[in-house]
Amino acid sequence: MSTASKAFSIEDLRTAARHRLPQAIFDFFDGGAEDELTLGDNQAAFRRIRLLPKVLTDVSQVETGVQLLGQASALPIAIAPTGAVGFGWRGGDIAIARAAVAANIPYTLSSAATASIEQVAKAAPGRLWFQAYILRNKPFLEGLIARALAADYEALMITVDLPVGGKRERDFRNHFSVPFRFTAKNLLDFSCHPRWLSDIVRYGMPVMENMIGLDMQAKNATAIASSVGRSYDPAFNWDSLQKIRDQWPRKLIVKGILRPDDASRLAEMGCDALVVSNHGGRQLDGAVATLDALPAVVKAVNGRMPVMLDGGVRRGSDVFKAIALGATGVLVGRSTLYGAVAAGEEGAHRALAILRDEFTRTLQLSGACSVADIHSGLLFKSHLRDHSTP
């Protein structure tokens, strides 16, 4: 059996990825900021909620499809932007994009991907969204957005929760930086993983294709590991976002929202969707879990635009719970990333197949025939907490 076929859960794929990769590379994907409180709480929030299923409902046929950004998606799932996937598996970004096309769901390409805007559009023609970090170098940022438009990406996703890079201590301890700085510690780590190392020796380290031409040099191993973070623009504000809204002619998604007042303002601005996100716990440690923040954001938006969620989604039942609390859909990042860096495109397909199977089973076992049948009445109320507006 292949590595992918032996995986029966996303956690199995995570374990396979951990075994295949050097610790420094695995921890870059897997880790969070500082004490990793938010990283852990994203998953714990889903575990705190219990289901209250209906019975004696005909669930012999269920419908998992939804409308995401006005177009059909076979699942209420899109791929979240995940950077530097090629560090774990060469061609990993394209592998995930192709898996998304096969699953008939949207794929979001990260600015920090190891495949270019144009390469992904050519290799995986499907529903493509492009995620842009807000860079100090405005001509460079404008160029990225123009390239996404020229390559026919249907939506632009602006990440707004990253004015500066977070403090990811696993990366410091592993001497991980971008570009790589080889030290005695990480060379020993790399040499213990020959399958991964042989590719690097033969082809060299992948690069963040979309960032070529942007100064990203990390000065030392104690610098913020993803040194592109030093290029973020901490002065970016509401007026700056409005200019992008005015100039971008297609769907605009804003990612990184936790507060209901921010969500309401985005709706007033005319944004097309938002993503409740804390950057997977990789930046501000101690931020609220996204599932806990979701209900208040949904209430504030009041149907004016779709609300999606990312962070901590590892089971099909997690997708169900997010929708029951008001999300239109979820974005998955680490789930498909684990699959891709464990087993390439086959692993990415396997991750989505696992989530699809689990989500379908949860629908049936909860007495719901379609996504439209999911509602908060299928959740056990004593496990729900009221989160008031700050």
Question: Within 13 Å and on the Cβ side, how many CA atoms surround 35?
Answer: 4
- Confidence (pTM): 0.93
Kindly write down the DSSP assignment for every residue of 167-235, as one continuous string: --HHHHHTT--SS----HHHHHHHHT-HHHHHHHHHH-----GGGTTS-----STTS-SSGGGGGB-TT
pLDDT number for residue 36: 96
pLDDT number for residue 220: 37
Active site residues: 279
Nearest to 248 by CA among 132, 77, 116: 132
Residue 264 CB partners (closer than 8 Å, separation 6+): 300, 301
**Phi and psi for 363 in degrees, rounded to 5?**
-55, -50
pLDDT number for residue 183: 82
> What is the sign of the dihedral through the CA atoms of 93, 125, 348 and 311?
positive
pLDDT number for residue 382: 65
Q: Which residues are 273's β-sheet partners? A: 253
Two structure tokens written together for 33: 């900021």
pLDDT number for residue 361: 98
C-alpha 213, offset from chain centre: 25
Q: For residues 132 and 112, what is the distance between their CA atoms, to the nearest angstrom?
A: 9
CA distances for 63 relative to 317, 329, 369, 371, angstroms: 15, 14, 6, 7
Domains of the chain listed by start with CATH number: 10-49+77-357 (3.20.20.70)
- For the segment 75-118, what is each residue's pLDDT rounded down to a tens digit? 999 999 999 999 999 999 999 999 999 999 999 999 999 999 99
Rg (CA), the chain: 20
Q: Give every residue of the chain whose pLDDT is below 70, as ranges.
A: 215-229, 382-390
